Structure 1
Amino acid sequence: MNALLLAGGMGTRLRPLTDHMPKPMALVGNRPWLEHLVLQLKNQGFSDFVMAVQYYSEQIRNYFGDGSKWGVRIRYAVEHTLRGTAGAIKNAEPYLDDRFVVVNADIVQEADLADLLEFHRMRGGLVTIGLTEVEDPSHYGVIEQDGEDRIIRFVEKPRRDEAPSNRINAGIYVMEKQSLQYIPDHREVSIERETFPLLIKENAGVYGKVISGYWMDMGTKERYRAIHWDLLNRVCRLPLDGEERGSGIWIGDRSEIAPGALLIPPVLIGNGCKIGERSIVGPFAVLGDNCEIGKGVRCSETIMWDNCTAHDAVHLNNCILGYGLEVGSRQIMHEAVMNRMEAKEA
């Protein structure tokens, strides 16, 4: 069984961070989320991957190549025009096994797929949708199920008091290849608005099972920050590179912390960073590789990607800085989100 990763998203709501990169390549804890996902699924026994790519597809292909660096096999289903979720799956059909897993690659999650796969096998339907439960379902497409876990219908963004459940599509599916005959070719197709309702209407067997573990769509800047704070608090248990020095402080190789500088946990410092005298970094700060912090800098609730520089006496609060940005001395920045360079290569 292979895994199809839907990695063609443009990340419109994450701009300007995604102006020059696919959303799944955004850094999460100083590593592209898509890399985390490949490693996560590899640890669950998957070794054969198909990546559905479209927006800046060359970045993903250059970064991952054939997957041998990670001990897996990766092939690419390239969309020349956007085809929607179902259309992207249909486009990948030549590469897919008779049964395969689909994962929306811009959702940060830690789902254990073993239970979902066993549930799918036992139910014998064409599709099993991984579900997650949310406190307020009014912002999502909500599902309604019968007593046998079969999905009856989807309700798009219902009022909270009218929602049939608090269960939503988690963007993880187990599918039989036979189900692809219900997806028209060569056009944009929505899996929730077209394919799943058609399968339900045809009584083809669409089931849903709640998955356990961390789950968050990183589609907005607010949620992107929240994922990092969950990561630093270890609510999200994705691995963090670097040596943990004390509770909640991770420091990478070759990083230099000047005398008099203070790290307030939780904080993650990448490889090759320099932090100057009297600077205070944290709480809730993530510095990418080769970042340089001058003297007397105050940096809190801020995420900096690789090769950023904050000169002396800069104040950064609740900011996200993309690759290679430089902030001049004595600048004060609050809730700034900036990016100007393309994503790094492998």
Structure 2
Amino acid sequence: MNALLLAGGLGTRLRPLTEHMPKPMALVANRPWLEHLVIQLKDQGIRDFVMAVKHYPEQIRNYFGDGGKWGVSIRYAVEPTLRGTAGAIKNAEPLLDDRFLVVNADIVHEIDLLRLLEYHVQHGGKVTIGLTEVDDPTQYGVVEQDGSGRILRFVEKPRLEEAPSRRINAGIYLMEKDVLRHIPDHREVSIERETFPLLIERNVGVYGKVVTGYWMDMGTKERYRRIHWDLLNRTCRLPIPGQESGSGIWVGEDCRIGPGVLLVPPVLIGNRVDIGERSIVGPFAVIGDDCTIGRYVRCSETIMWDRCKVNDAIHLNNCIFGYGLELGSKQILHEAVMNRMEAMQA
């Protein structure tokens, strides 16, 4: 069984961070989320991957290559035009096994693939949708199931009192390849609004199973921050790089921490980071590799990607900074989200 990772989304709501990059390549704990996902699935037995790409596909190709660095095989299905979720799966059809896993690559999660596979084999249907339960289902397509787990219908954005459940599509599917004949070719197709309702109508056997563990769509800046705070307080158990020094302080290799620097947990410092004297970093700060932080800096609830430079006496709170930007001295920034071009213009 191979895995199809849907990595072609535009990441509109994460701009400017994703203005010139695919959303699944956004850093999570100083590593592209797509890399976390490959490693996570490899650890559960997947060795053959197909990546469905569209938005800046060369960045994903150049980073992962053929997958040999991670001990896996990676092939690519490039969408000539945006095809939607089902259309992207259809476009990748020649590369897929008779049974395959599909994962939306912009959702951060910890899935137990074996339990999902056991359930899929047990019910004998053609599709198993991984489901997650949410407190407020009114903003989602909500599933209604019978006692066996068969999905009877999707109810799009119901009022709370009319929701048949609190279960929504988690963006994880196990599929038998022959269902792809139900997906039209060469056009955009929504899997939730078109394909799944059609498969339910044709009684091919669409089932759902709740996947336990962490789940978060990183499609907005607020949720992107929340993922990092959940990582730092270990609500999300993805691996954090670096040595844990004290409780909740992770520091990478070859860092220089100046005199009087205070690291307030939880905080993650990447590799080769230079922090100037009497700066305070944290709580809830993630500093990427090869960053330089000047003297007397205050940095809290902030995510900083690799190769950033923060000059002296800057106060940062609740910010997100993309690769390689530089901030001038004596600024106060709150809730700023910037990429390198914006920083040069500021």
TM-score w.r.t. structure 1 length?
A: 0.98
Aligned residue for 1:301? Answer: 301
Aligned residue for 1:143? Answer: 143
Q: How far apart are the structure 1 equivalents of 2:107 and 2:161?
A: 26
Q: How far apart are the structure 2 equivalents of 1:210 and 1:312?
A: 49
Aligned residue for 2:7? Answer: 7
Q: How far apart are the structure 1 equivalents of 2:278 and 2:161?
A: 52
Deviates more, 1:44-53 or 1:153-162: 153-162
Aligned residue for 2:325? Answer: 325
Residue by residue, what CA displacement relative to the aligned partner does 1:142-179 show, whole Å, maximum 9, x if unpaired? 00001111000001111112111000000000000011
Aligned residue for 1:222? Answer: 222
Q: How far apart are the structure 2 equivalents of 1:258 and 1:160?
A: 53
Residue by residue, what CA displacement relative to the aligned partner does 1:5-27 show, whole Å, maximum 9, x if unpaired? 00001100000000000000000
Query: Are 2:98 and 2:178, in contact at CA under 8 Å, matched by a contact in 1?
Result: yes
Would you say 1:25 and 2:19 are equivalent positions?
Answer: no
Corresponding residue SS for 1:271: coil
For residues 76-91 of structure 1, the aligned pairs below 5 Å read: 76-91=76-91
Aligned residue for 1:113? Answer: 113
Query: Are 2:306 and 2:323, in contact at CA under 8 Å, matched by a contact in 1?
Result: yes
Q: How far apart are the structure 2 equivalents of 1:191 and 1:331?
A: 46
Q: How many residues align?
A: 341
Query: Are 2:326 and 2:340, in contact at CA under 8 Å, matched by a contact in 1?
Result: no
Q: CA deviation at 1:61?
A: 0.4
Q: CA deviation at 1:240?
A: 0.9
For residues 155-194 of structure 1, the aligned pairs below 5 Å read: 155-194=155-194
Query: Are 2:253 and 2:270, in contact at CA under 8 Å, matched by a contact in 1?
Result: yes
Aligned residue for 2:344? Answer: none
Tell me the amino acid that sits aligned with residue 188 of structure 1.
Answer: E
Runs of 4+ in 1 over 2 A off after TM superposition: none
Tell me the amino acid that sits aligned with residue 193 of structure 2.
Answer: R
For residues 1-346 of structure 1, the aligned pairs below 5 Å read: 1-340=1-340
Tell me the amino acid that sits aligned with residue 312 of structure 1.
Answer: D
Tell me the amino acid that sits aligned with residue 183 of structure 2.
Answer: I
Residue by residue, what CA displacement relative to the aligned partner does 1:164-205 show, whole Å, maximum 9, x if unpaired? 100000000000001101000000000000100000000000
Corresponding residue SS for 1:169: strand
Tell me the amino acid that sits aligned with residue 247 of structure 1.
Answer: S
Q: How far apart are the structure 1 equivalents of 2:340 and 2:146?
A: 49
Q: How far apart are the structure 1 equivalents of 2:2 and 2:163?
A: 34
Q: CA deviation at 1:108?
A: 0.2
Residue by residue, what CA displacement relative to the aligned partner does 1:43-101 show, whole Å, maximum 9, x if unpaired? 00000000000000010000000000000000000001000000000000000000000
Corresponding residue SS for 1:175: strand
Query: Are 2:155 and 2:163, in contact at CA under 8 Å, matched by a contact in 1?
Result: yes
Query: Are 2:322 and 2:338, in contact at CA under 8 Å, matched by a contact in 1?
Result: yes
Corresponding residue SS for 2:148: coil
Corresponding residue SS for 2:28: coil
RMSD: 0.6
Q: How far apart are the structure 2 equivalents of 1:57 and 1:141?
A: 29
Q: How far apart are the structure 2 equivalents of 1:338 and 1:163?
A: 38
Q: CA deviation at 1:340?
A: 2.7
Residue by residue, what CA displacement relative to the aligned partner does 1:305-344 show, whole Å, maximum 9, x if unpaired? 0000110000000000000111100010000000137xxx
Tell me the amino acid that sits aligned with residue 239 of structure 2.
Answer: P
Corresponding residue SS for 2:31: coil
Corresponding residue SS for 1:330: coil
